[in-house]
Amino acid sequence: MNSSGMDITLRQMNADDASLHQEFIARLGPDDLRFRFGARIGEVPHSERHRIAAVDDEAETTFVAMRRRGGGGCEIVGEVRAREDAEGGHAEFAIAVRPDLQRQGVGRALLEKLISFCRARQMTLLYGLVHPSNASMLALARRLGFHIDHVPGGRTAVVSLEL
């Protein structure tokens, strides 16, 4: 992916990415954490950081957007993950992009990668829970063909895509 002069590589996350993933999570802002984790938190607790960086290929798939650092090495600048439900066929996704790189195509590329992956696995539905004030995510979902249902009470919107 080359968006706005960025050279981004999308790939499946692996166990060696744990420290890079923790650095990525630490760079998310308060609204990004709220949108990603569904609650207003100051930071992700250490125990939760370890769990979300763990790779569980059986039930969960995570793709990361990687970028080369100026001084060498790579950094994670975005992630999308999907957890398949127990019955199979449906998966819930969550996505986050580093604040300084939002609205530059990283989230779209990640979500398109996940959609292709889910289709190849013959899943039938991909869905996510989105805070109604997350206009950027709702707009992206709409552009990619997701149906948007606003839950009464205004705390959550459900975006879903029949695969």
pLDDT in tens, 72-121: 889 999 999 999 988 879 999 999 999 889 899 999 999 999 999 999 99
Q: Does domain 2-162 have CATH number 3.40.640.10?
A: no
For residue 51, pLDDT beyond 70 = no
Strands of the sheet containing 90-97, edge to edge, are: 2-3, 6-12, 60-68, 74-84, 90-97, 125-130, 157-162, 147-150
Determine the longest span between alpha carbons in the chain, in angstroms: 49
Helix (H, G, I), strand (E, B) or coil at 39: coil
What CA–CA distance (Å, rounded) separates 65 from 11?
A: 7
What CA–CA distance (Å, rounded) separates 4 from 30?
A: 25
Positive or negative CA dihedral for 121, 141, 74, 14? Answer: negative
For residue 18, pLDDT beyond 70 = yes
What CA–CA distance (Å, rounded) separates 47 from 145?
A: 35
pLDDT tier at 38, thresholds 50, 70, 90: low
Number of CB atoms found within 10 A of residue 59's CB? 11
Identify the pLDDT of residue 42. Answer: 44
For the whole model, what pTM was predicted?
0.82
Which tokens sit at 159? 């975006």
